Protein backbone atom coordinates (compact mmCIF):
# COMPACT_ATOMS: atom_id res chain seq x y z
CA UNK A 1 0.00 0.00 0.00
CA UNK A 2 1.28 3.45 -0.90
CA UNK A 3 2.76 5.12 2.22
CA UNK A 4 0.77 8.30 1.58
CA UNK A 5 -2.52 6.43 1.23
CA UNK A 6 -1.72 4.55 4.43
CA UNK A 7 -0.97 7.85 6.20
CA UNK A 8 -4.18 9.41 4.79
CA UNK A 9 -6.23 6.52 6.18
CA UNK A 10 -4.38 6.59 9.51
CA UNK A 11 -4.90 10.33 10.01
CA UNK A 12 -8.49 10.13 8.88
CA UNK A 13 -9.34 7.30 11.24
CA UNK A 14 -7.58 8.99 14.17
CA UNK A 15 -9.66 12.17 13.92
CA UNK A 16 -12.89 11.11 12.23
CA UNK A 17 -14.66 10.52 15.53
CA UNK A 18 -14.51 14.22 16.34
CA UNK A 19 -17.03 15.02 13.57
CA UNK A 20 -20.02 13.35 15.24
CA UNK A 21 -19.02 14.89 18.58
CA UNK A 22 -19.12 18.35 16.99
CA UNK A 23 -22.49 17.51 15.41
CA UNK A 24 -23.82 16.44 18.80
CA UNK A 25 -22.68 19.71 20.37
CA UNK A 26 -24.32 21.70 17.56
CA UNK A 27 -27.61 19.80 17.92
CA UNK A 28 -27.47 20.28 21.71
CA UNK A 29 -26.93 24.04 21.39
CA UNK A 30 -29.70 24.29 18.79
CA UNK A 31 -32.07 22.34 21.04
CA UNK A 32 -31.41 24.83 23.86
CA UNK A 33 -31.68 27.97 21.73
CA UNK A 34 -34.29 27.27 19.03
CA UNK A 35 -37.94 26.87 19.99
CA UNK A 36 -39.47 23.60 18.78
CA UNK A 37 -36.14 22.32 17.47
CA UNK A 38 -36.63 18.88 15.97
CA UNK A 39 -34.28 16.52 14.17
CA UNK A 40 -35.49 13.19 12.84
CA UNK A 41 -33.58 9.95 13.26
CA UNK A 42 -32.73 9.97 9.57
CA UNK A 43 -31.33 13.50 9.81
CA UNK A 44 -29.25 12.50 12.83
CA UNK A 45 -27.87 9.44 11.05
CA UNK A 46 -27.06 11.39 7.88
CA UNK A 47 -25.47 14.14 9.99
CA UNK A 48 -23.32 11.65 11.91
CA UNK A 49 -22.14 9.93 8.73
CA UNK A 50 -21.51 13.27 7.02
CA UNK A 51 -19.56 14.81 9.89
CA UNK A 52 -17.56 11.58 10.26
CA UNK A 53 -16.64 11.79 6.56
CA UNK A 54 -15.86 15.52 6.84
CA UNK A 55 -13.54 14.96 9.81
CA UNK A 56 -11.94 11.92 8.15
CA UNK A 57 -11.18 13.81 4.95
CA UNK A 58 -10.14 16.98 6.80
CA UNK A 59 -7.54 15.04 8.77
CA UNK A 60 -6.51 12.79 5.90
CA UNK A 61 -5.86 15.40 3.21
CA UNK A 62 -3.14 17.00 5.31
CA UNK A 63 -0.96 14.22 3.89
CA UNK A 64 -0.88 16.10 0.57
CA UNK A 65 1.45 18.62 2.20
CA UNK A 66 3.87 15.82 3.14
CA UNK A 67 4.45 14.53 -0.39
CA UNK A 68 7.95 15.83 -1.01
CA UNK A 69 8.00 15.48 -4.78
CA UNK A 70 4.82 17.59 -5.16
CA UNK A 71 5.07 21.33 -5.60
CA UNK A 72 3.38 23.58 -3.05
CA UNK A 73 0.71 24.74 -5.55
CA UNK A 74 -0.11 21.12 -6.45
CA UNK A 75 -0.39 20.17 -2.76
CA UNK A 76 -2.60 23.18 -2.02
CA UNK A 77 -4.79 22.54 -5.04
CA UNK A 78 -5.34 18.88 -4.12
CA UNK A 79 -5.94 19.81 -0.49
CA UNK A 80 -8.37 22.57 -1.47
CA UNK A 81 -10.18 20.51 -4.12
CA UNK A 82 -10.66 17.50 -1.86
CA UNK A 83 -11.98 19.57 1.02
CA UNK A 84 -14.21 21.69 -1.17
CA UNK A 85 -15.80 18.71 -2.92
CA UNK A 86 -16.54 16.88 0.34
CA UNK A 87 -17.87 19.97 2.12
CA UNK A 88 -20.18 20.97 -0.73
CA UNK A 89 -21.48 17.42 -1.12
CA UNK A 90 -22.13 16.95 2.59
CA UNK A 91 -23.68 20.38 3.04
CA UNK A 92 -26.04 19.91 0.09
CA UNK A 93 -26.94 16.28 0.95
CA UNK A 94 -27.78 17.33 4.53
CA UNK A 95 -29.72 20.39 3.32
CA UNK A 96 -27.42 22.57 5.39
CA UNK A 97 -27.30 24.71 2.27
CA UNK A 98 -29.83 24.48 -0.55
CA UNK A 99 -28.80 23.25 -3.97
CA UNK A 100 -29.03 26.69 -5.57
CA UNK A 101 -26.20 28.11 -7.64
CA UNK A 102 -26.32 31.49 -5.88
CA UNK A 103 -26.03 29.84 -2.46
CA UNK A 104 -23.26 27.52 -3.63
CA UNK A 105 -21.48 30.57 -5.07
CA UNK A 106 -21.66 32.35 -1.70
CA UNK A 107 -20.50 29.17 0.05
CA UNK A 108 -17.62 28.89 -2.43
CA UNK A 109 -16.54 32.51 -1.87
CA UNK A 110 -16.55 32.02 1.89
CA UNK A 111 -14.76 28.67 1.63
CA UNK A 112 -12.04 30.06 -0.66
CA UNK A 113 -11.50 33.08 1.59
CA UNK A 114 -11.30 31.07 4.81
CA UNK A 115 -9.10 28.38 3.24
CA UNK A 116 -6.53 30.84 1.95
CA UNK A 117 -6.58 33.05 5.05
CA UNK A 118 -5.78 29.98 7.14
CA UNK A 119 -3.02 28.91 4.77
CA UNK A 120 -1.46 32.37 4.68
CA UNK A 121 -1.43 32.42 8.49
CA UNK A 122 0.14 28.95 8.57
CA UNK A 123 2.69 29.97 5.94
CA UNK A 124 3.79 33.08 7.84
CA UNK A 125 3.93 31.28 11.20
CA UNK A 126 6.06 28.50 9.70
CA UNK A 127 8.28 31.05 7.96
CA UNK A 128 8.77 33.05 11.18
CA UNK A 129 9.56 29.86 13.12
CA UNK A 130 12.02 28.75 10.44
CA UNK A 131 13.76 32.14 10.50
CA UNK A 132 13.95 32.05 14.29
CA UNK A 133 15.44 28.55 14.28
CA UNK A 134 17.93 29.50 11.56
CA UNK A 135 18.99 32.57 13.54
CA UNK A 136 19.52 30.37 16.61
CA UNK A 137 21.70 27.97 14.60
CA UNK A 138 23.97 30.75 13.28
Model pLDDT for residues 2-14, shown as the tens digit of each residue? 888 888 888 888 8
Residue 8 CB contacts under 8 Å (≥ 6 apart), including other chains: 60, 61, 63
Instruction: Give the pLDDT confidence score for residue 7 in this predicted structure.
Output: 83
Q: Distance (Å, rounded) from C-alpha 67 to C-alpha 90?
A: 27
Q: Distance (Å, rounded) from C-alpha 58 to C-alpha 8?
A: 10
Q: Distance (Å, rounded) from C-alpha 56 to C-alpha 48?
A: 12
The model carries a pTM of 0.78
Phi-psi region of 67 (alpha: psi -120 to 50; beta: other; left: phi over 0): beta
Q: List pLDDT tens digits, range 42-100.
A: 888 998 999 889 989 988 898 888 888 989 889 999 999 999 999 999 999 988 899 99
Q: Distance (Å, rounded) from C-alpha 61 to C-alpha 56?
A: 9
Amino acid sequence: MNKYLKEFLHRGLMFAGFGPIVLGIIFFVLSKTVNDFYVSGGQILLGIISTYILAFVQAGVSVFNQIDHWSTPKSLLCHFGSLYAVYVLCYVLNSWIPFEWAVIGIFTAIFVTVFFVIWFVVYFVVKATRNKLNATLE
